[in-house]
Structure formats: structure tokens, C-alpha cells
Amino acid sequence: MSVDYSALSPQARGVAIKTATLDATAADSTEILCPRWANRVTVTFKTSADADDSGNLAFEGTDGAAIDADNQPVASGGTFGFAVAAYEDMALAFSIFVVASTNSAKCHVIFESESRGG
């Protein structure tokens, strides 16, 4: 069950924050389509103080399948952010793949459009 944020517009200060509900099966990845304007993306997994909501992030994968072997673990309550190279030249939105440690968990995603100039 992919989540499509490709048409999302930035909010104040070039930022948009969304909360995606992930696959009902914890081991299955969810594809998140990111907006073309985002040149920095941050993900975090945490829905409650007493839950272990850790997850993983990959840049390749298949929606609804196991997460790619090359992935980045994200600790419960932790964040992982990354820059998107050459975003100005991208004609289409891009995807990330996330999986959570619990069924139907939430992944908070922050999309940023940072100035690249000096």
C-alpha cells in the first residue's frame, strides 16, 4: 500500500510534515512517493512513549514486499535524514521504502526544500 506525496506542496518555510500509516504486516515495506521539490527528507518512527516503533529505510524495493537488504535501521524515537542529490533536475517524484517493527505503525516524514545557494 504505497503512500503518494508526490503532489504535496511545501508549507511554511519550504517544509511539509506527513504521517504515513505503514503496511498492516510489520515485515512488509511501504513505498512513499516523495515530492520532487524536496531536497532533504527525514523519517522517524514513534507513536507512543511506551511502544517500540523502530523501523528501516531503503532507497530501492517493492511496495508490500520485504525491505531491501541494503537498508538503514532507525531506532524507536530516532530520526534519519538524508539529502537528495540533484533534485533540481528530477522530472518526477522519487520513492523511499520504509518498514516498521510493528503492524500498521506510523512513520513521520519531513520533506524540506533547502536553499542550495550561498
Domain boundaries, the chain: 3-112
- Name the CATH topology of 3-112: Jelly Rolls (2.60.120)
pTM of the model: 0.86
Residue 89 neighbours by CB under 8 Å, 6+ apart: none
Mean pLDDT of 16-27: 89
Mean per-residue pLDDT, 81-93: 70
Question: What are 108's strand-pairing partners?
Answer: 19, 44
Amino acid at 101: S
Q: Of all residues in the chain, what percent carry a pLDDT higher than 70?
A: 88
pLDDT of residue 84: 85
Summarize pLDDT for 29-85 with one digit per residue, the tens: 999 999 988 989 999 987 766 677 899 999 999 999 999 999 999 998 889 999 987
